[in-house]
Chains A and B, each alone.
Chain A
């Protein structure tokens, strides 16, 4: 079965610091990969998706970027975090068994 590993579970970072969140995938090849974010009091919002290596689509303008250096690796980055980047970040994939989500990273920017 397809699984997705996401880390860390929680992260506290100062304003202006860089960010790198990584997720890796097992049990499927050539999946579509997604980054979602939930800000306080709001639903999960799609930030980026990727249909293949090096292919990134951005859904909303923001302070973040995404990269897919390998088929099963998806990275969310920022050069300088803002307070508004705080939230719950979920990596997800669609493969042979529909949508599978990682366990999420709760990011607090202080």
Chain B
């Protein structure tokens, strides 16, 4: 079945550091790929998405490129801020009767000033 493997955390960085959170997937067909973010005390929010190979999703300075050849969707940001501290989830969509999401285990990111 479909699955998502995500870089284990927690990850702790200093402000303005470069961020990479790795995500690889296994899927039949051509799923859409997503990054969701959960800030403390809040629900999951869509951060960015890509629907086909070589698409680049971007939002709030974060980027991820749908790499079919390496089955990856790594999340990157050039200069992180304290406000980026959150839990990040990589996910793929699997439409069978309803649009289901298959999630990675989540990566907790802490940015220190």
Contacts and interface: CB of A to CB of B under 8 A. Distances in A.
Contact of A51 (B4, B36, B97, B106): B97
Interface in B19-76: 36, 41-46
B44 A38 contact: no
Interface SS, B side: strand
Contacts, number: 56
Given A38-B106, A43-B4, A43-B89, A103 B101 contact: no
Given A43-B6, A49-B98, A51-B97, A98 B46 contact: yes
Interface string A41-85: 111111001010000010100000000000000000000000000
Contacts of A41: 105
Contacts of A101: 36, 43-45
B67 to A, nearest CB: 20
Interface of B: 4, 6, 36, 41-46, 89, 91, 97-106
Given A43-B106, A94-B99, A98-B46, 11 more contacts: A6-B43, A34-B100, A36-B101, A41-B105, A43-B6, A44-B106, A46-B100, A99-B99, A101-B43, A101-B44, A103-B41
